[in-house]
Amino acid sequence: MSSTEALVMVFLIGVIAGLRSLTAPAAVAWAACGRGILTNTPFHFMGSRVAAILFTVLAIIELITDKLASTPSRLAAPGLIARIITGGLSGSCLAAAEGQSIAFGAVLGVLGGVAGAFLGYGVRTHLVKGQKLPGLPSAFLEDAVAIGGAIFIVSRF
């Protein structure tokens, strides 16, 4: 993969983190699990089965709790900070896997995480309020986009 394509994918995994904060690192961990793409990097732990299972369990919990009325907005500080952290982590991992700058990968992942959070909020709000799509189907649609997008992105590495 070209450097430009790799960096676009690094940004996009951040966008996925902006949609669902734990889907991105879960997908990265499964992509790295047993393949050795992060072996000689500071992120070698992400290639372990333990990391893949842990992030997957956390991602499933997030998918469930997102549907609860009591769940705060992704744009509230805790949700946005989580998206920044997981976007940066996921972006750094994919950048490292391609031999790109880890710091630049972190920046792109963070920017993608923020963009994804605001984009996801805007689209979901538009679907619910503007298009009168009930909240639950719009949440499942966002889940599908996040999971499908994450699988597409990590399959390129």
Q: What is the pLDDT of residues 91-147, one digit of tens each?
A: 999 999 999 999 999 999 999 999 999 999 999 999 989 888 888 899 999 999 999
- Please list, residue by residue across 26-55, b when 16 or more beta carbons sit within 10 angstroms of its beta carbon and e when fewer do: bbbbbbbbeeebbeebebbebbeeebbeeb
Cβ–Cβ under 8 Å, residues 20 and 151: no
Return the domain boundaries, the chain.
3-154
- pLDDT given at position 135: 81
Spatial CB neighbours of 56, under 8 Å, sequence gap ≥ 6: 26, 29, 30
- Provide the terminal-to-terminal Cα distance of the chain, rounded to the nearest Å: 8
* DSSP letters spanning 77-106: HHHHHHHHHHHHHHHHHHHHHTT--HHHHH
Predicted TM-score of the model (pTM): 0.94
